[in-house]
Amino acid sequence: MISDFHIHSIYSDGELLPAEIAERYRVNGFDAIAITDHIDFSNLNVIEKLKKLKKEIDTPEFIVGAELTFTPPQKINKLAKKARNHGAEIIVMHGESPVEPVPKGTNIAAIESEQIDILAHPGYITDEMAIKAREKNVYLEITSRCGHCYTNGHVAKKATQHNAPLIINSDSHQLKDLLTPKKAKKVGLGAGLPEKQIEKIINKNPKKILKKTK
Ligand SMILES: [Zn+2]
Ligand SMILES: [Zn+2]
C-alpha cells in the first residue's frame, strides 16, 4: 500500500480541489490519501466538506483528515476531540518545524494527547519525544516539503534510535508537490534511511495507521 496522509486543498491554503487531488493520486498509483487541511477552532466545517466528497470517491481510498495548526499546546486535546466529532479519521499535528514559529511544547502535547495520529514535520525532536512517540504509537513524519524537510535526517535518526514509527508524506499545497512512489523513496533515502526500512515505512505503516483509526 502506498499513501500520502498529509495534503492541503483549497479548503485551507492549497491550490487544488480535493477531487482533483484524489484523481491525480489515483493516476500516480496510490492506494490511500488523506486530505488534511489546516484547522483551528474557527473552521472545523472543512471536515464536513471532505466527508461529502468521500461518499463519491472509490479509489484511492479517501481519508477525511485534519491538520491542527498553531494550536496552543494546552488546547490540542480539546481541538483534536472536536475534529474527531466532526468526522476526522486521521489527525495530523502541525509540529515544531525548523522554519515556522510553532508554539514550543506543541510536539510533546500532541504526542501525549492520545488523539494525534501523525506528528508532522516535528523539527529538532528530542530523545524524550521519540521515546514517547513510540510509547503512544504516534507516527513521526518525514516530509518532502521544502523547509520542513531540513530536519528529516535528524527525525529519521532519533526515530530509528528509539524505534518510533515513521511515515513519509508530502504536505502538498500545489500540483508540483504531489508525491509519486519514486519521490517518496527518494525522500526516505535523503533522510538517510536504509532501503529496507523505507520499504516498510511506505508499504506497511499506512496500513497500521488506518487500522488504528478505524
Ligand atoms: Zn504543517
Ligand atoms: Zn501541512
CA of 95 to the centre of ligand 1 (A): 7
Peptide bond into 72 cis (omega under 30): no
CA of 56 to the centre of ligand 1 (A): 27
List CB-based neighbours of ion ligand 2 within 5 Å. 67, 171
- CA Rg value for the chain: 15
Give the β-pairing of 61-68 and 139-143: unpaired
From the candidate CATH numbers 3.20.20.140, 3.90.1150.10, 3.20.20.70, 3.40.190.10, the one assigned to the domain spanning 3-213: 3.20.20.140
Domain ranges of the chain: 3-213
pLDDT tens digits, 70-113:
999 999 999 999 999 999 999 999 999 999 999 999 999 999 99
Percent pLDDT > 70 in the chain is 100
Residues 116-127, mean pLDDT to the nearest whole number:
98
Burial class (CB in 10 A: 0-12, 13-18, 19+), 137: middle
pLDDT tens digits, 7-66:
999 999 999 999 999 999 999 999 999 999 999 999 999 999 999 999 999 999 999 999
